[in-house]
Amino acid sequence: AVCSMGNSTSRLYSVLTKTLSSGAVSQHQDCLEQLDSAPLDPIDPKDLLEECQIVLQKRPPRFQRNFVNLKKNTASNHRPIRVMQWNILAQALGEGKDNFVQCPMEALKWEERKCLILEEILAYKPDILCLQEVDHYFDTFEPLLSRLGYQCTFFPKPWSPCLDVEHNNGPDGCAMFFLKERFELISSANIRLTAMKLKTNQVAIAQTLKCHETGRLFCIAVTHLKARTGWERFRSAQGCDLLQNLKNITQGAKIPLIVCGDFNAEPTEEVYREFSNSSLNLNSAYKLLSPDGQTEPPYTTWKIRPSGECRHTLDYIWYSQHALNVNSALGLLTEEQIGPNRLPSFNYPSDHLSLVCDFSFNQDPDRLL
């Protein structure tokens, strides 16, 4: 059913209910080869959203989140570029290792959780989508998003913890998607991050794109740094390595840059200061939601594990503040919306909140840093 996806609603339903669910990707190599060799028909996003909502009809409605207008009085003569950052929670980890004690296992069923993820993406219609903890790339995200007009890239972790979980769907990693009608790919780099001169298990993707409408180049990067307390110096070293790679790719900030990621680091950590003080002149977009424009949100992840409740700010969208403007940013869920059992839940598919920003190019591209 997956290999012969067509345009009809019934076939779309088949895509959602019968995507390769739990077996290793190698078991479905024939189907994947067919996916690679034959371009599939485009999907109308409205049809896909409708099918997601049919699958989710017994679940509570999606939370309402509003965009906050941050645009200054500078006029822009081009459509904004919408960027979405999200750690979607690897299916193998959600069901196997993460142990969300207040989240019913029923809420984590992939058949429905994938529709919640897709519904969130379809609702905000990003031009560029940056995801972490993707372990259903080949059977879900690449087949569907490519048919929505996205160019898709995936870089798995070398030693993904998902592989330690029985009935896993392969390794998790970072994934990037951009709309081909809006951008042309100029260059792409898969980066395995280094710390203390050692290759690590964390990765990044960096792509230089050309905006069709303006002719402007910019670089978009996605990453996921090492988790857990006690690894602060390690994350700092990974951040330094990523920044050095990005300096090379952007020719020392001549090309504007957007970096999306789950940094697994609070704003008090050294890696955050490295990005704030980098010669790339980066700012964190979500700081602009605060009254003073200098304070990160109180949380981007909120969960309950056996060790207790964890509320942290770990996810960021960094941008070249000399070359790009943040027109708007999607507000976060309130504590009341999240509820006492925290995330994930029947309402929301991940333990991390999605971040979405609209960017425009500065109208004076030759302005000094």
**Sorting pLDDT into bands at 50, 70 and 90, what band is 4?**
very low
What homologous superfamily is domain 81-364 in, according to CATH? Endonuclease/exonuclease/phosphatase (3.60.10.10)
**Sorting pLDDT into bands at 50, 70 and 90, what band is 98?**
confident
Bridge partners, residue 282, by sequence = 320
pTM: 0.90
Is residue 11 pLDDT above 80, yes or no?
Answer: no
Q: What is the mean pLDDT of residues 249-272?
A: 97
Q: In this predicted model, what pLDDT tens digit does every residue of 75-96 receive, in sequence order?
A: 678 899 999 999 999 999 999 8
Instruction: Kindly report the number of other CB atoms within 10 A of residue 112's CB atom.
Output: 19
Would you give the end-to-end CA distance of the chain in angstroms?
53
Q: Which of 66, 176, 75, 74 is nearest to 126 (CA)?
A: 176
Q: In this predicted model, what pLDDT tens digit does every residue of 163-209 receive, in sequence order?
A: 999 989 999 999 999 999 999 999 999 999 999 899 999 999 999 99
**CA–CA separation, 128 vs 357, rounded Å?**
10
**CA–CA separation, 113 vs 122, rounded Å?**
14
**CA–CA separation, 278 vs 272, rounded Å?**
10
Tracing tokens 């979980």 back to the chain, one arrives at 165
Amino acid residing at 32: L
The pLDDT value given to residue 150 = 98
Pairing of strands 301-305, 282-284: unpaired
Q: What is the mean pLDDT of residues 145-172?
A: 96
Q: In this predicted model, what pLDDT tens digit does every residue of 328-369 receive, in sequence order?
A: 999 999 999 999 999 999 999 999 999 999 999 997 655 444
Q: Where are the domains of the chain?
A: 81-364
Distance set, CA 331 to CA 62, 68, 158, 262, 280 (Å): 14, 6, 34, 18, 26
The pLDDT value given to residue 183 = 98
Is residue 28 pLDDT above 80, yes or no?
Answer: no
